[in-house]
Structure 1
């Protein structure tokens, strides 16, 4: 699976588990709501720093975003 899609799917799952909207995460992380949406759809290639900031916005570890998704 494409790593962008892995990160996007993991981030969306974690965000929803925390009961957060894309808008709330955007405010917390400093990224735009559009960027969050693109990321969740696997349309962005986040940097290591972005992954760290995104993980913090959902109270997760960066490794949680890059874990392979089991089918």
Structure 2
């Protein structure tokens, strides 16, 4: 999954977990509803400043918005 899609999915999941609508998040960020929607769909690449702003409003670490979820764990070779 591309980084923009991972970021968007994580923003959407975090926003929904906090009980915020897309409109509320956009308002709190001072951004347009359509831009935030495009971010959530992975259609736009946010600047680092935007990642930090969104993380601040959602009260989470910026890295948590950029990290893949545990849905697809990384498999490594076993060592002996």
Is TM > 0.5 for Structure 1 vs Structure 2?
A: yes
Give the match for residue 17 of structure 1.
17
Give structure 2 stretches of 5+ with no counterpart.
73-80
State the shift of 1:64 in Å: 1.2
Name the one with the larger helix percent.
Answer: 1
Over the aligned positions, Cα root-mean-square deviation in angstroms equals 0.9
Number of the residue aligned with 2:50: 50
Q: Which runs of 5+ in 1 are unaligned?
A: none
Q: After TM superposition, where is structure 1 displaced by more than 4 Å over at least 4 residues in a row?
A: none
Structure ID, larger Rg:
2
Aligned length: 71
TM-score, normalised to structure 2's length? 0.84
The answer to which structure, 1 or 2, has the higher relative contact order (CA under 8 A, 6+ apart) is 1
Identify the range of structure 1 (59-68 vs 12-21) with the bigger mean alpha-carbon deviation. 59-68
Distance in 1 between residues matched to 2:22 and 2:13, nearest whole Å: 12
